[in-house]
Chain A
């Protein structure tokens, strides 16, 4: 079945017959397959909401219990780096959305370009995150590993809880980023082979949803972990 490219169309329709080459046997139509994939990915993202939600719950409780200790931690948080990282992820979401759009329009070169850009932003995020963590290690702010809090000894244990939540939540987030980078690599390889086009771009869209979700988690993590205290 020849796949026809449809450039610059205001609304692209899935060429259902062309997607038949990707149709799995238990689905009746490509439309059903796409619908199922979409619902499946959203359902999975909901499980992720609840997964991260457990950590947000712990954060809520401890912030309520120890507000002063939590506020004292903000001065040790690298807001510049965190802010840059937030910007980096926002840019990566833009390029990811542009990748999906390129696939929808069968623009192979721009699809590949935007995927590469997304990966560059993702990698930048991870590098900056590593720098932040290293800084914390040097400052003895890693809970369980010679944690020190000399300026506010009365908050030692409670601040340690915040730092633990910091590592746990940003760590879990970074793990999801790494998985995302793996998924993007797969997309990149497939895009170079011109597997995706206006008739079939389901994996790009699904992985895009995942990537945006990981961005949304960071959007909440940033103010909650870095901007707790009123900073003079």
Chain B
């Protein structure tokens, strides 16, 4: 299996991009984005992680099976988080709070 030796330029380029994105995410956290706050933060983090994986970890050169494994891992992580979140997110859709339910517990309408 041939091993590609990446150029120093590509590594330094990613390094600079990562530092800029870090600076960006801190800066953006000072803006009032309301609900999109976490979306933007996660997007930036995802881009950073992708750069690390693609260039530093060599996924751009790797075999298809490796990429499949990486994607599978991400899908499974999403399954766990999204479906669990889905439960909590959809509880309020039908939920009629009882008089005896106190705030402070999980799943109660805030």
Q: Do A and B bind each other?
A: yes
**A56, A93, A219: residue with the most chain B Cβ atoms closer than 10 Å:** A219
Instruction: Output the nearest chain A residue to B53 by Cβ-Cβ distance.
Output: A216
Query: Does A179 touch B at the CB level, under 8 Å?
Result: no
Residues in chain A near residue B5, CB distance under 8 A: 9-12, 101, 104-105
Which among B4, B52, B65, B107 is the interface contact of A11 at CB below 8 angstroms?
B4
Docked CA distance A49–B81 (Å): 12
Query: A94-B15, A216-B49 known; A230 and B2 CB under 8 Å?
Result: no
Docked CA distance A152–B60 (Å): 48
Which among A39, A209, A231 is the interface contact of B57 at CB below 8 angstroms?
A209
Residues in chain B near residue A224, CB distance under 8 A: 38, 41-42, 45
* A53–B52 CB distance below 8 A: no
Query: A46-B73, A223-B29 known; A65 and B88 CB under 8 Å?
Result: yes
**A9, A34, A97: residue with the most chain B Cβ atoms closer than 10 Å:** A97
Query: A14-B1, A105-B5, A212-B53 known; A90 and B26 CB under 8 Å?
Result: no
Which secondary structure dominates where chain B touches chain A?
helix
Docked CA distance A87–B25 (Å): 12
Query: Does B99 touch A at the CB level, under 8 Å?
Result: no
Closest chain B CB from A120 CB (angstroms): 16
* B32–A230 CB distance below 8 A: yes
* B77–A53 CB distance below 8 A: yes
Which among B4, B55, B66, B77 is the interface contact of A38 at CB below 8 angstroms?
B66
Query: Does A145 touch B at the CB level, under 8 Å?
Result: no
Residues in chain B near residue A86, CB distance under 8 A: 22
Query: A50-B77, A60-B81 known; A11 and B6 CB under 8 Å?
Result: no
Which among A49, A61, A97, A228 is the interface contact of B85 at CB below 8 angstroms?
A61
Closest chain B CB from A58 CB (angstroms): 9
Query: A97-B11, A212-B53 known; A57 and B70 CB under 8 Å?
Result: no
Query: Does A139 touch B at the CB level, under 8 Å?
Result: no
Docked CA distance A149–B54 (Å): 42
Query: Does B100 touch A at the CB level, under 8 Å?
Result: no
**CB pairs A–B below 8 angstroms (10 shown):** A34-B1, A35-B63, A46-B69, A64-B89, A83-B23, A97-B55, A212-B53, A212-B57, A220-B49, A231-B29
Residues of chain B having any CB pair with chain A under 8 Å: 1-6, 8, 11-12, 14-15, 18-19, 22-23, 25-26, 29-33, 37-38, 41-42, 44-45, 48-49, 52-53, 55-58, 62-63, 65-66, 69-70, 72-74, 76-77, 80-81, 84-85, 88-89, 104, 106-107, 110
